[in-house]
A and B are shown apart, each in its own frame.
Chain A
Amino acid sequence: MQPVLESNKGLIRGIGGKIKRISTYVISDLKENKVSYLLVMPYWTIFFVFTILPVIIAIALSFTYYNMLEPPQWEGLHNYLRLFLDDDVFLIAIKNTFVFALVTGPISFFACLILAWMINELQPKIRAFLTLLFYAPALTGQVYFIWKIMFDGSAYGYVNGILLYWGIITEPIQFFQDPAYIMPVSILCVLWSSLGTSFLSFIGGLQGIDTSLYEAGAVDGIRNRWQELWYITLPQIVPHMMFGAIMTITQSFAAADQLIALVGFPSTDYAARTIVSHLMDYGNIRFEMGYASAIAVILFAFMVITQRLVQKYLAKLRD
């Protein structure tokens, strides 16, 4: 008995010592860099309370039943099981979200990249004008309501009117009620307003490239603009592509505001139901906060996992 106790004491003393050493280290760091921490903390406290803390709370609530009137009750994995085994609409929402993200994400990313690259070679004034034009839909936010008027379902809608006038169709298409058209039209509208921060980041990145690289490249035997793009330009802006990818992926998973504005809520046959609108349904309308939190956690997981995968792939591109 005696030796075991001794060694236990030693272990405890060991751990205690470690904790003590680490805490003295931390405290001395806090003291030494007091000014740095004082400068960061006003911002970071606000950031933490309204951005990070809510994620932690959402994860905790997702294991409970909570209706905002009674205190939350622990339910374990019940919400998650119900989502995947019992909620057919949620599976539709997942499918729609992924279709939407897989189409708009890559198209938007490459459109930003290619348009920025093409604009980069133009004269400064034209470049400034085209930058403004392409960025304007994202800049002005809610202007996408104009698509609702253009694609109005009656014969007086502009697209319908023109198609009827030309004799291509014989009766107006219900663009926002017919499940066959809801997704394509919404995707077009969202793409229109998706040249945002990533587009600006690419423009800035391309402007920052040292032009002597191109002259050196020409000397080294680069013969056309495609080689130049592949061997010189793209490797130079990999960091911007990583940043741009983050902004684009986040945006493409979260599309819901536009869909709701265009198609209405709920949509015919849930054709425009996404994870975000499912979340809003349970959070804002049914007040099943625990269940809604589980949806939020799954959305969070999808976003962050996709981000990590794409980042890994882009980092490989650099080497």
Chain B
Amino acid sequence: MKAKFRIRRKRLNRSLGGDVFLFTFLGIGAVFTAIPLVFLISQAFKPLNELWLYPPQFFVRNPTFKNFVDLFVLMGESWVPMSRYFFNTLLLVVVGTGGHIILASMAAYPLAKHDFLFKPFLFQTVVLSLMFTYQVTAIPNYLIMAKIGWVDTYAALIVPAWGMSLGLFLMRQFMVAMVPDELIEAARVDGASELTIFWRIVMPIVKPAWLTLMILSVQQLWRETGSRFIYSEELKTLPYALTQVIWGGIARAGVGAAVGLVLMIVPIVIFVINQARVVETMSTSGLD
């Protein structure tokens, strides 16, 4: 009975012609998006003689792990051990993301649910910052880092990541829509402090939002090369080391594709696991 009803509703106001038109459009979009991705995967498994065939072959014929082995060997030869680059990126991703989620949630709670004089100013500056990119602030940012002595330290990468504005915006919008005022009011009547309300009531409700913040932050920090602030080789990150291989020229085409694949896997896995939560968070992302 229920299933029947769903099928009926789904067909409401739909015509075959429209379906065909839309699926064609969707198909073209999907193929256009997929080609470079499939090509990357195919390329990563090609042996050397297939990489430079004429006429070129899109798909791999004799897949091999040689490119990945080469990558491993190449990285083993680097002056700073590969594990150090990996550790740097891991530290950056974990501390940067953890701090961002905690600080942004703390700030989002009063901005969503309290009323105070400077609230509009504090929130609108964050919205304004969504309207320009880091290139605008790159030079003064460097001067500030130099002034506080953070150039060439982990802090130069980690601390600014705590203050990312997109995370705070999404968290605040989600709290406005999803946390009922009555619940907070009831807890206050019971004598709970604001910190208790924030930690025991609000935070569990907004779990989808902090998983979303996690993805956005991991996605950004995982690809951070750190080249703007970091000069010491032993403080540099994994993407920095790996992209050196990519731009190593034509001879590294296969290894380069392997690098691309390695860099892709982590954000994709995290996104797949949390996709439903991200969509839920984004349903409240509107700006009104």
Contact partner of B278 among A50, A200, A205, CB < 8 A? Answer: A200
> B256's closest neighbor in chain A, by CB?
A145
Residues from chain B with a CB closer than 8 A to the CB of A280 are 135
Query: In angstroms, how far is the closest chain B Cβ from the Cβ of A159?
Result: 9
- A52 within 8 Å of B by Cβ? yes
Task: State how many angstroms separate the Cβ of A136 from the closest Cβ of chain B.
Answer: 6
* Residues of A close to B165: CB separation below 8 A: 47, 51
Distance of A304 Cα from B128 Cα, bound (Å): 8
Determine, out of A11-19, A78-86, A239-247, the stretch whose residues face the partner at the interface.
Answer: A239-247
- A152 CB contacts on chain B under 8 angstroms: 250
A170 within 8 A of B: no
Smallest CB gap from A57: residue in B: B140
Is A179's beta carbon under 8 Å from chain B?
A: no
CB neighbors of B among A11-49 (8 A): 25-26, 29-30, 32-33, 35-37, 39-44, 46-49
Given A51-B137, A57-B143, A131 and B275 touching (CB < 8 A)? yes
Residue contact A224 to B18, C-beta cutoff 8 Å: yes
CA distance A24 to B88 in the complex (A): 49
* Complex-state Cα separation, A201 to B110, whole angstroms: 24
The distance in angstroms between the C-alpha atoms of A218 and B8, with both chains bound, is 12
Contact across chains for B114 and A115 when beta carbons are under 8 A apart: no
B281 near A204: Cβ-Cβ < 8 Å: yes
Quick one: which of B56, B122, B250 contacts A158, CB cutoff 8 A?
B56
**Candidates B33, B128, B246; contact of A145 at CB < 8 Å:** B246
A58, A143, A228, A249, most chain B CB atoms within 10 A: A143
Indicate whether A190 reaches chain B with its CB closer than 8 angstroms: no
Asked if residues A61 and B137 are in contact (CB atoms below 8 Å), the reply is no
Task: Tell me whether A43 and B106 are in contact (CB under 8 A).
Answer: yes
| Contact between B26 and A119, CB atoms less than 8 A apart | yes
Measured in the bound complex, the distance between the Cα atoms of B84 and A186 in whole Å is 35
**Does A187 have its Cβ within 8 Å of any Cβ on chain B?**
no
Q: Are A205 and B285 in contact (CB under 8 A)?
A: yes
Stretch at the interface among B60-68, B69-77, B179-187, B266-274: B266-274
- Chain A residues near B219 (CB, 8 Å)? 139, 141
- Inter-chain contacts of A33 with B (CB < 8 A): 110, 114-117
| A53: Cβ under 8 A from any B Cβ | yes
- Please, how many angstroms separate the alpha-carbon atoms of A242 and B109 in the complex? 23
Give the residue of A39, A132, A136, A145 whose beta carbon is less than 8 angstroms from that of B198.
A39
> Does B13 touch A at the CB level, under 8 Å?
yes
Among B12, B40, B136, B247, which residue has its beta carbon within 8 angstroms of that of A143?
B40
Knowing A200-B282, A215-B9 touch, does A51 contact B129 (C-beta < 8 A)?
yes
Output the nearest chain A residue to B260 by Cβ-Cβ distance.
A143
Is the contact region of chain B dominated by helix, strand, or loop, or is it mixed?
A: helix
When each residue 189-220 of chain A gets 1 if its CB lies under 8 Å from chain B and 0 otherwise, what string results?
00010010100110111011001001100100
Q: How far is the CB of A304 from chain B (nearest CB, A)?
A: 5
Q: Kindly provide the distance from the CB of A5 to the nearest chain B CB, expressed in whole angstroms.
A: 37
Whether A303 and B136, one on each chain, are in contact in the complex, defined by CB atoms closer than 8 angstroms, is: yes
Contact in complex: A111, B285 (CB < 8 Å)? no
Q: Does B263 contact A (CB under 8 A)?
A: yes
Q: Are B52 and A156 in contact (CB under 8 A)?
A: yes
Interchain CB contact under 8 A, A141 and B135? no
Which A residue's beta carbon lies closest to that of B17? A224
Q: Mark B89-128, 1 if CB is under 8 A from A, else 0.
A: 0000000000000011011011100111111001001101
Q: Are A243 and B37 in contact (CB under 8 A)?
A: no
Inside 8 A of A42's CB, which chain B residues have their CB?
A: 103, 106-107
* B271 with A139: CB separation less than 8 A: yes
Residues of chain B within 8 A (CB-CB) of A293 are 139-140
**A146 in contact (CB, < 8 A):** yes
Determine which of B55, B103, B162 lies in contact with A162 in the assembled complex, contact meaning CB atoms within 8 Å: B55
A54 interface contact, C-beta 8 A: yes
Query: A240, B13: Cβ atoms under 8 Å?
Result: no
Q: Does A133 count as interface, using CB distance less than 8 angstroms?
A: yes
A268 at interface by CB-CB < 8 Å: no
Q: Mark B166-199, 1 if CB is under 8 A from A, else 0.
A: 1010000000000000000000000000110010
**Are B163 and A51 in touch, CB under 8 angstroms?**
yes
Docked pose: A280 CA to B250 CA in angstroms: 26
Q: Are A250 and B132 in contact (CB under 8 A)?
A: yes
Tell me the B241-288 residues at the A interface (CB within 8 Å): 243, 246-247, 250, 253, 256-257, 260, 263-264, 267-268, 271-272, 275-276, 278-288
Q: Which residues of B contact A222 (CB under 8 A)?
A: 13
A293 to chain B, nearest CB (A): 6
Determine whether A99 belongs to the interface, using a CB cutoff of 8 Å to chain B: no
Q: Told that A40-B122, A150-B39 touch, could you supply 5 new A-B pairs with CB distance under 8 A? A: A55-B132, A57-B140, A156-B54, A215-B9, A246-B287
30 sampled A-B residue pairs with Cβ under 8 A: A30-B117, A33-B115, A36-B110, A37-B110, A43-B162, A47-B163, A54-B140, A58-B140, A61-B140, A136-B33, A136-B268, A137-B36, A140-B267, A141-B219, A142-B243, A145-B256, A149-B257, A150-B39, A156-B56, A162-B55, A200-B278, A218-B12, A218-B13, A223-B13, A224-B15, A243-B287, A247-B130, A254-B133, A279-B135, A296-B139
